[in-house]
Amino acid sequence: MAGNSIGHVLKLTSFGESHGAALGGVLDGYPSGIWIDQDLILAEMARRRPGSSRFSTQRQEADKTEILSGVFEGRSTGTPIGFIIRNSDQHSKDYDALKDVYRPSHADYAYHQRYSIVDHRGGGRSSGRESAVRVMAGALAKMYLREKGITVNAGIRCIGSVRDTGTVFNTGTPGPVPALDPTFIPAFEAEIDKARMALDSVGGVVECRIGNVPAGLGDPVYDKLSADLAKAMFSIGAVKGFEIGDGFSLAGMLGSQANDQMEMDGARPSFITNHSGGIQGGLSNGEQIILRVAFKPTPSISQVQHTVNASGQDTELVIKGRHDPCIVPRAVVVVEAMAALTIADHLLMRDGYGKA
Amino acid sequence: MAGNSIGHVLKLTSFGESHGAALGGVLDGYPSGIWIDQDLILAEMARRRPGSSRFSTQRQEADKTEILSGVFEGRSTGTPIGFIIRNSDQHSKDYDALKDVYRPSHADYAYHQRYSIVDHRGGGRSSGRESAVRVMAGALAKMYLREKGITVNAGIRCIGSVRDTGTVFNTGTPGPVPALDPTFIPAFEAEIDKARMALDSVGGVVECRIGNVPAGLGDPVYDKLSADLAKAMFSIGAVKGFEIGDGFSLAGMLGSQANDQMEMDGARPSFITNHSGGIQGGLSNGEQIILRVAFKPTPSISQVQHTVNASGQDTELVIKGRHDPCIVPRAVVVVEAMAALTIADHLLMRDGYGKA
Amino acid sequence: MAGNSIGHVLKLTSFGESHGAALGGVLDGYPSGIWIDQDLILAEMARRRPGSSRFSTQRQEADKTEILSGVFEGRSTGTPIGFIIRNSDQHSKDYDALKDVYRPSHADYAYHQRYSIVDHRGGGRSSGRESAVRVMAGALAKMYLREKGITVNAGIRCIGSVRDTGTVFNTGTPGPVPALDPTFIPAFEAEIDKARMALDSVGGVVECRIGNVPAGLGDPVYDKLSADLAKAMFSIGAVKGFEIGDGFSLAGMLGSQANDQMEMDGARPSFITNHSGGIQGGLSNGEQIILRVAFKPTPSISQVQHTVNASGQDTELVIKGRHDPCIVPRAVVVVEAMAALTIADHLLMRDGYGKA
Amino acid sequence: MAGNSIGHVLKLTSFGESHGAALGGVLDGYPSGIWIDQDLILAEMARRRPGSSRFSTQRQEADKTEILSGVFEGRSTGTPIGFIIRNSDQHSKDYDALKDVYRPSHADYAYHQRYSIVDHRGGGRSSGRESAVRVMAGALAKMYLREKGITVNAGIRCIGSVRDTGTVFNTGTPGPVPALDPTFIPAFEAEIDKARMALDSVGGVVECRIGNVPAGLGDPVYDKLSADLAKAMFSIGAVKGFEIGDGFSLAGMLGSQANDQMEMDGARPSFITNHSGGIQGGLSNGEQIILRVAFKPTPSISQVQHTVNASGQDTELVIKGRHDPCIVPRAVVVVEAMAALTIADHLLMRDGYGKA
């Protein structure tokens, strides 16, 4: 079954393994006439690129994207945009020892059950490296959304035991650990350093907000905007939780606390509160869309772990190679990318290709 | 855009409004030769049926399902199973006052923006009544899974401020409030009663476990089993949060705590822990799949609320009619249904129609 | 696999067997605000209804359609339109003798290989009776196209050896054998009568023209408008050939003969000829779309035929029951329905749901 | 709308323009463990490659395919196979004069209406060069089918006025004009030469046969095997007609002539004739699948033609550049490719990924 595409009318198809020749994607259904902003592509790819700080893997990849089609004289033509990202700094030998050993909480065991043949090098198809394709496609989606005035921003709300339960939403902070509240940066960095030095890893939570989404986007029942966002976020590696608006907290509330009452704001209906996170009945209601995504700790750690191998023997394992002690900082732009693709998809369903 | 279907090769298409002639569905891709267990259909529909206790709406509906196709001499034929559920106890007049008023935290405002024309009676298409279609289709999915030895069970983990943080998983308790730990039943009921008597409503959390799922189910990258479960659950009305395994808690853990190490269990590889909730890298790993779904409080409450109407005027609103003070008890079987449909879909992708 | 839906954003899902309780369909993605013209539904269903002349089967079916959802106060709401058509005049006993015998050139043998269990009565799911669902959905599509000024008409070009090679396109002729050139009616009727009296059947060709289609409809490469029309027509039972414009004749022509040169028609670009049949490069070019569909003779004939049974024995067969000596007259409206659905689907892809 | 993918569970996504950097494709859902036969890829690409005889365009392209993913140690891994084909011999300047002129019977006018922005060089996305992607994917599909014993072969039945109405099916003849009956080669070549020397072009018919297809492949009603074949063939550029088995001739036949009676062939049910072309009721019946595809003459001719330009002016046009006087010889392998992809897709629907 072909599970490497996502989107209804704006469809991203992805391919590529961590240590193969290249990763790449095809973004189909992209509207014609959009100015392709190469600077935005470079900037977005840089946000995800490995090796740029001690908080990420030391694998060095330029992550240069080459667009092969769908762009003519600087603008999109409406035909599919194919692009590739060559791999360059594979240390495939690092993975020889792992060929037949199932790394705990990695996809290894399940992939062997699913495919029989697995490119084990660097995680193969299940590698987080696939997210480079998402970031590239997300950058294209953002160019389109920008023309519609729609903004997509994300940052870190939690690293391990350090939780920012506030509502400061500052996405302009530079640096390798993009906390939404900059006062949390030292604590977040310390949490990652602590894990890193213990040869361990740590998880976290990313919050994303989407602004200026028109009301009425989404399809009823199964293709709710919220359902498509849930799928898009859960398609990212290491994601184990997702919520919209007040999310799980809403389960603990009364209707009188949770309901977003309305009032006229001049000639415009508006909501007094936004517990719903901008989505009601599965459709956007014109308020800011707010969502949070929970990431588990990177399963690759350099401590001794017990596991089994493909021959059915118990064994001990110490994972060598280059790993992220915390995937969350690099995941921020991936969350934005999936959000941008989902919103652009639903916008194009509403407007069709004739209006774009 | 057509957003009323879900599933890849086992596809449910749904139709119907709360106060229309009937709701119904088409389950396409269902394997041939499955014995259609009418008792299971009756039992499942009864679990969702309104009017059966003080914890649910007093609308009386027999929710009798009529199968119109796809079954011959008691067995499925492999052709689409069409079914309808007639509506009988509509009090459409109750909704006349609501025709042009946007009920807070309901779909009303967004639906008007989306469709212009809205059948406002009883929530129309956005009514929770649509879930009857899911329960019927879920019952069919369960019959198929039963033949494969796969079990799907759910129950309540939280109602409002009462949280069961334990791991007791007892789904055999009879009664209108199916708590997973029966000792929580009095507290859950009290929480609902308190909201009901205050003309208010309350939310909660449902936990679902799927047993005996073979390892290797799911598609990589976008159609991960976890992503499809996330979409299926978020397609249910009032859902605002979803997690798999330890979910959001994993964000606060170290890799050394979160990783599920493996060991041989005789000749079978097995996992020592199950923080992952049965899914790794988006594929089932053979362990029990564990997921939790957060429901917001029913937005229909009988207190005075501030809102606006379709003419752009501020107004006060007191919702009359029959409402669930807490949707969670009736949602349990809906969560199971969506889980069963998703697992069956992925199983059929693996096996094709030729093996079924 | 779920193969009972067609369309990209306007999606028809169909269910039902010839001798089951009912056939039905769900038309999803239909725009809101369209006036549902019950008279058009009745008129279209009457064109396909069996038993109305000696040229069709004598099965008597009212073919009354009941709309169950998606329509409110006479207009479509944008939610899925579910409808059913009850079966009433099944003579299931007629088919007892056929239960385990494969009727030549019917689907019987292939269906047994595909499904193991087959509802054999009246052809079950493979019955031409399923086309009633298409006609109903086609009537709905036509109401939408009518508001856009688009016309869809078809008629008969050939019955057996009687071929109308002209270009008269008169679809207003009343009567059971809707020839495009009325002067052919007697010959067509005679050809059917000759087959009928010989206990035989006969095939034919339907031509369909679609007017006022805007230029630029269709998607490049795989979802060409022509490709989607080809699929839609070949999804009709008994279809064995399809062509657009001059079709197979173009294979025998030179480019200088086949090319449609252009000229300005006032301020509007226009085509001097229309060998292409309104589609170039897979997209509509603004000219009339012209297509032809070839139907094989009804495989049910009352002559002795040699065949085999499910036990693997040679046997002789004389098919009893009520059959169409020629399916072509009743297929005319089915061809129109599939054309209307395809064009409406592509129009809605262009315009989105927000414009409808 | 995203119309650059085809297939249900074996899905090909295509991208690239005639004069862009590269064309490419992603074949998703391909089973794991298939030996990737590089020689077959080279051989198939050579059959379509331009510039190899006087019967095709003189554009010189190596058409070297680079596989970027999905293959490990010589075998497919089950993950998507991404591949690219670099363009090298673009003469983009040849097309400067055509930038704003609509070439008769090309996609130009419709594409301008559809996209506003068009890469006009060499036909851009509507170029026949896109078929290189199909041939590459088709070669992969054939490797899979070969392991199942299924054969796919095609050749020429007609060029212009020269028609081979026989049934000789010899696909082993070497040379640039692969006639099914080798005795037709001189006449076919003369027909192309005549057109070429008259600065004209000519059409033709390709016949394809698929052997050893198991009975029961296909989905009922809309996703009939015949309907999917029709769509696949009509998605090829320049196709204007398609038929299965006796096709249009069946419209002129009686049921008693057209029906394929059955008899036991030892223990195996078999068909005495094959007018149906291996498909009945939309499903394969185990007999050889036979289909024919009609191609119009290449619309690029070097004679003076009347047309209009984007400014709305009448103009004369003489197309320069390098064109195929007859596309049919190079289209043979494209027809095979689309047939192979369609059959492999349906086989994988039957078997699922778990059996592959």
pLDDT (tens digit, 9 = 90+) per residue, A267-281?
999 999 999 999 999
Confidence at C355, pLDDT banded by 50, 70, 90: low
Report yes or no: B197 and A95 within 8 Å, Cβ to Cβ. Answer: no
CB D107 within 8 A of CB C282: yes
Q: Which residue of D66, D73, D77, D86 is the best one to mutate when testing the A interface, meaning the one whose CB has the most A CBs within 10 A?
A: D77
State yes or no: pLDDT of A50 exceeds 90.
Answer: no
pLDDT of res. C356: 45
pLDDT in tens, C317-343: 998 777 889 999 999 999 999 999 999
Taking residues B297-304, report their average pLDDT: 94
Which candidate, C124, C343, C45, C15, places its Cα nearest to that of D222? C15
- What mean pLDDT comes out for the span B184-209? 97
Is any Cβ of chain B less than 8 angstroms from the Cβ of C345? no
Query: Is D349–B351 a contact, with Cβ atoms under 8 angstroms apart?
Result: no
What percentage of chain B has pLDDT greater than the value 70?
Answer: 99
Compute the C-alpha angle B189/B194/B198, nearest 5°. Answer: 145
Main-chain phi, psi angles of C169, to 5 degrees: -130, 80
Name the D residues in 21-60 with CB < 8 Å from any C CB.
Answer: none
Indicate the helix (H) or strand (E) that contains A208. strand A204-211
CA angle D309, D311, D314 (to 5 degrees): 45
- Give the DSSP letter string of C290-337: EEEEEEPPPS--SSEEEEEBTTS-EEEEE--S---S-SHHHHHHHHHH
- Mean pLDDT throughout D282-301? 97
Asked if A308 lies within 8 A of B259 by C-beta distance, the reply is no
**Is the model's pLDDT at B241 over the cut of 80?**
yes
Q: For chain D, which chains pass the contact test of at least 3 CB pairs under 8 Å?
A: A, B, C
With CB atoms and an 8 Å threshold, state whether C354 touches A353. Answer: no
Are the beta carbons of A290 and A274 closer than 8 angstroms?
yes
pLDDT of residue D356: 45
- Write out the two tokens for D163: 């028609």
Name the residue with higher pLDDT: C54 or A236: A236
What is the per-residue pLDDT for C29? 97
Question: pLDDT of D12-47, one tens digit each?
Answer: 999 999 889 999 999 999 999 999 999 999 999 999
> Could A69 and D26 be called an inter-chain contact, meaning their C-beta atoms sit closer than 8 Å?
no
CA proximity to C343, closest of C206, C208, C142: C142
Of B13, B29, B77, the CB nearest to C26: B13
- Check residue B141 and give left, alpha or beta (phi > 0: left; psi -120 to 50: alpha): alpha
Q: Which residue of B has its CA nearest to A256?
A: B200
Which pLDDT belongs to residue C139?
Answer: 98
D248 chain-C contacts, CB cut-off 8 A: 205, 240-241, 243, 248, 294
- The answer, for A353 touching chain C at a CB cutoff of 8 Å, is yes
Choose among A14, A70, A116: nearest Cβ to D15.
Answer: A70
Token reading at C134:
């298409």
Chain A: residue whose CA lies nearest to B352: A1
Element of type H or E holding A212: none
How many alpha carbons lie under 13 Å from residue D255 in its C-beta half-sphere?
31
Q: Does B220 touch chain D (CB under 8 A)?
A: yes
CB atoms within 10 A of CB D316: 10
Report helix, strand or coil for B152. Answer: strand
pLDDT, tens only, C37-85? 999 999 999 999 877 788 877 777 788 999 999 999 999 999 999 999 9
B1: amino acid identity, one letter: M
Question: How does pLDDT run across D231-280, given as a tens digit for each residue?
Answer: 999 999 999 999 999 999 999 999 999 999 999 999 999 999 999 999 99
For the cut 80, the answer to whether the pLDDT of residue D92 exceeds it is no
Q: A126: which chain D residues are within 8 Å (Cβ-Cβ)?
A: none
Q: State yes or no: ipTM above 0.95.
A: yes
The pLDDT confidence band at residue A1, using thresholds 50, 70 and 90, is: low
In this structure, what DSSP letter does residue B106 have?
A: S
Q: What are the tens digits of pLDDT across the range A121-164?
A: 888 898 889 999 999 999 999 999 999 999 999 999 999 999 99
- Mean pLDDT, all residues of chain D: 93
| Contact yes or no for B80 and C4 at CB 8 A | yes
| Mean pLDDT, rounded, for C193-221 | 96
Q: What is the pLDDT of residue C283?
A: 96
Sequence spans of domains, chain D: 8-351
Q: Which of A105, A248, A305 sits opposite B248 (nearest CB)?
A: A248
Q: Check whether A87 has a pLDDT greater than 60.
A: yes
Cβ(D284)–Cβ(D217) below 8 Å = yes
Q: Has residue B197 got a pLDDT over 60?
A: yes
pLDDT > 60? residue D355: no
Task: Work out the pLDDT band at A89, boundaries 50, 70, 90.
Answer: confident
CB pairs A-C closer than 8 Å:
31
Burial class (CB in 10 A: 0-12, 13-18, 19+), A275: buried
Q: Chain C contact for A352, CB < 8 A? A: yes
Mean pLDDT, residues A35-50 taken together: 94
- Give the mean pLDDT of B325-336: 96
Contacts of B76 in chain C (CB under 8 A): 117
Nearest to C119 among B68, B72, B116 (CB): B72
User: Averaged over A24-32, what is the pLDDT?
Assistant: 97
Q: Which residues of B touch A203 (CB under 8 A)?
A: 250-253, 258
Q: How far is B215 from chain D (nearest CA, A)?
A: 12
Interface contact D222-C272, CB threshold 8 A: no
CA D347 to chain centre: 20
Q: What is the helix (H) or strand (E) element at residue B8, kind and residue range?
A: none
How many Å lie between the alpha carbon of B192 and the closest alpha carbon of chain D? Answer: 46
Strands in chain B per DSSP E: 5-6, 11-15, 22-28, 32-35, 65-67, 71-72, 75-77, 81-86, 151-159, 162-163, 204-211, 239-244, 262-265, 268-271, 279-280, 283-284, 289-295, 305-308, 314-317
Chain D touched by B174 (CB under 8 Å)? no
For A259, which DSSP code?
Answer: -
Q: Does B79 touch chain D (CB under 8 A)?
A: yes
CATH fold of B8-351: Chorismate synthase, AroC fold (3.60.150)
Question: What gap in Å lies between CA C23 and CA A257, rounded to an integer?
Answer: 47
The yes-or-no verdict on residue B230 having pLDDT over 90 is yes
D7, D24, D79 ranked by CB distance to A82: nearest: D24
Q: What is the mean pLDDT of chain A?
A: 93
Query: Does A347 score more than 80 pLDDT?
Result: yes
Q: Chain B contact for C99, CB < 8 A? A: no
pLDDT above 90 (res B57): no
Chain A neighbours, 3+ Cβ pairs < 8 A: B, C, D
Helix axes D328-355, B328-355, angle to 10 degrees: 120
pLDDT at D324: 87
pLDDT tens per residue, range D323-343: 889 999 999 999 999 999 999
Question: Is the CB of A9 inside 8 Å of chain C's CB atoms?
Answer: yes
Task: List all residues 6 or more positions away from C27 whose beta carbon is below 8 Å from its beta carbon.
Answer: C10, C11, C12, C70, C80, C81, C83, C137, C140, C141
Determine whether the interchain pair D117/A33 forms a contact, defined as Cβ–Cβ distance below 8 Å.
yes
CB B319 within 8 A of CB B103: yes
Asked whether the beta carbons of residue D15 and residue A353 sit closer than 8 angstroms, the reply is no
Find residue B13's DSSP bridge partners.
Answer: B5, B26
Mean pLDDT for the stretch of residues C83-105:
84
Average pLDDT score, chain B: 93
Q: What does the alpha-carbon distance between residue C108 and residue C118 come to, in Å, rounded to a whole number?
A: 8
CB contact under 8 A, A353 and C348: no
Residue D35 main-chain phi, psi, to 5 deg: -70, 125
Interface test with C, best of A148, A346, A353 (most C CBs within 10 A): A353
pLDDT at B356: 45
Q: Which residues 121-150 on chain C approach chain B with CB closer than 8 angstroms? A: 124-125
- What is the band of D62 on the pLDDT scale with cuts at 50, 70, 90? confident
